[in-house]
With several copies, the nearest count.
Chain A
Amino acid sequence: MNDSTPAAPATDSPSLARPQQGEMPFAVVLGKAMTELPRDLYIPPQALEVFLEAFEGPLDLLLYLIRRQNLDILEIDVSEITEQYMRYVELMDAMQFELAAEYLLMAAVLAEIKSRMLLPRAVDVDEEEEDPRAQLIRRLQEYERFKKAAEDIEEMPRLERDTWVASAEPPDLDRARPDPDVDMRELLLALSEVLRRADMFESHHIQREALSTRERMSEVLEKLSGRQFVPFVSLFSAREGRLGVVVTFLAVMELIKEALVEIVQTENFGPIHVKARSE
């Protein structure tokens, strides 16, 4: 660690931790707005940080250097670019060593390429190994594609800047909430639960027959509602057959037992009338 570098722990200052990741490519340095990249290699030390932020990393810096020479990536003069690149990195080094790690790595790559180019080529050696220059070119090309893609995305029409979703006031709404669904099993479980709670689960038996009787009880009561006397016979329907008649009869008996209906016969063998007790 270089003790002389200004203390800039990554945790304290996000802008220094990854300067090349800064949200703003340019900033105000010593009250002066940086609107352009430096034209020559001299970077005022105070501006280095800002300068670094202008680049998205070593690949971006390399691309910048290549472009400044009006060169195609494929024609880069590794020697010259390396010289320039190293001078930038030296500046960084003097400033803030830890900021420049990724740049230093690139410097090493460049130095390796340069040294290889100086050596005579052995055709049949290292067939397997990729030419570091080709690898660098490929990385630069690949990076450049996405740098361009990012620019394209920036240009794409987008919401809140170029267009807005149209909306209008909805009409007054009658928001009927749909009815909940009920599964028969829920009903059964509810019943079992309530009966168990009532401690009736063991002792209470409801017979299948009783149910149809109870249903008929409801029907009879409904027929009687709001009326004085209803002829007993009118409660029966021949269409229902014998079973129906029996169920109705049992229902009426049950209603009488529960004191829900009153049964009236004014004379022997006369017509029987039924009346709801509470009406």
Chain B
Amino acid sequence: MSESASMLVQIIEGALLAAGRALTVAQLGELFEEAERPSAVEIREALAVVSERCEDRGFELCEVASGFRFQVRQSLSPWVARLWQERPQKYSRALLETLALIAYRQPITRGEIEEIRGVAVSSNIIKTLHERDWIRVVGHRDVPGRPAMYATTRQFLDYFNLKNLDQLPALAEIRDLETLNAELGFSEPLAAANDGADQTISADLPSAAASTEDASSDAGDSDSADAADPRAPGGAQ
């Protein structure tokens, strides 16, 4: 490593620790006078070195939505957590389900959340999510009452150690209803239900569509008595 490259590595290490928050490659570049500013490629190379040097240490370099930051290794949390008297905050199931719906189905209105959960969403939950800066209003749906549409924020991604929404765990699969209908030997086709399923699928995140497709072929494979092509309805994707 050249001397200047080694210096760059040190500056990045120092800045990330002094900042105590994530910094983007661009923000790291701005630490330098314009004339001396390393390229984004050089900064990324230096970040790779920084990351390597964390091996076997109590901390590691992580990339989250807001950029790069040093984090204490998760394996150390049993000890490190003792630094704080208070237990970390527990979140209710209601809050987490609401958060999950906003994360996976954004932009989504409170009414839509209530429809899926089957119960009213308390204002306290929305307030807490706002206060934590995990959700924000991204617009209003053009229906009576113009309800606010919610989406998650970068702070949400940062807090949960994510670079982007794609990194959320994949949603559980929904088996294709048409296939199952045939499996269960119902005479009546469940056409309406299938329409509904299509709608919800298209609203999913990009990765969800793929898993739904997988699901339909799995279901088809598992039942050889199924004469009709089980993939046909799924092919509408």
Partners in one complex: yes
Q: Which residue of A lies closest to B78 (CB)?
A: A174
Given A190-B97, A211-B168, A149-B19 contact (CB < 8 Å): no
A128 to B142, CA, bound (A): 27
Binding stretch for chain B, among A34-42, A85-93, A217-225: A217-225
CB within 8 Å of B: which A135-165 residues: 135, 137-139, 141-154, 156-165
Residues in A with CB closer than 8 Å to B215 are 185
Q: How many residues of chain B are within 8 Å of chain A by beta carbon?
A: 106
Looking at the assembled complex, report how far the CB atom of A114 sits from the nearest CB atom of chain B, in whole angstroms. 16
Contact for B193 among A59, A134, A215, CB less than 8 A: A134
A56 to B95, CA, bound (A): 10
Contact for B118 among A23, A58, A130, A138, CB less than 8 A: A58
B26 on interface, CB distance cutoff 8 Å = no
Residues in A with CB closer than 8 Å to B184 are 74-75
Say yes or no: B74 contacts A172, CB within 8 Å.
yes
Looking at the assembled complex, report how far the CB atom of A150 sits from the nearest CB atom of chain B, in whole angstroms. 4
A31 on interface, CB distance cutoff 8 Å = no
B51 on interface, CB distance cutoff 8 Å = no
CB within 8 Å of B: which A183-214 residues: 183-195, 197-198, 200, 205-206, 208, 211-212, 214
Contact for B159 among A24, A128, A158, A260, CB less than 8 A: A158
Mark B77-94 against chain A: 1 for CB-CB distance below 8 A, else 0.
110110111111111111
B230 on interface, CB distance cutoff 8 Å = no
B188 on interface, CB distance cutoff 8 Å = yes
Say yes or no: B118 contacts A59, CB within 8 Å.
yes
Given A218-B151, A259-B142, A276-B139, A175-B103 contact (CB < 8 Å): no
A218 to B81, CA, bound (A): 39
Say yes or no: B73 contacts A130, CB within 8 Å.
no
Say yes or no: B132 contacts A163, CB within 8 Å.
no
Given A141-B174, A163-B74, A221-B139 contact (CB < 8 Å): yes
Given A142-B200, A166-B18, A222-B138 contact (CB < 8 Å): yes
A224 to B107, CA, bound (A): 14
Say yes or no: B86 contacts A177, CB within 8 Å.
yes
Say yes or no: B125 contacts A21, CB within 8 Å.
yes
- A sample of 14 inter-chain contacts (CB < 8 A) reads A21-B119, A145-B171, A152-B169, A163-B77, A168-B71, A171-B77, A185-B193, A188-B212, A195-B116, A214-B106, A215-B151, A218-B149, A260-B149, A278-B140
Q: Closest 10 A-B residue pairs measured CB to CB?
A: A167-B20, A130-B192, A57-B119, A134-B193, A218-B151, A166-B17, A166-B70, A191-B100, A190-B96, A164-B18
Interface residues of B (CB under 8 A from A): 14, 16-22, 59, 62, 69-78, 80-81, 83-97, 99-101, 103-107, 116-122, 124-125, 132, 136, 138-142, 146, 149, 151-152, 158-162, 164-166, 168-175, 177-178, 180-181, 184, 187-194, 196-197, 200-201, 203, 205, 208-209, 211-212, 215, 236
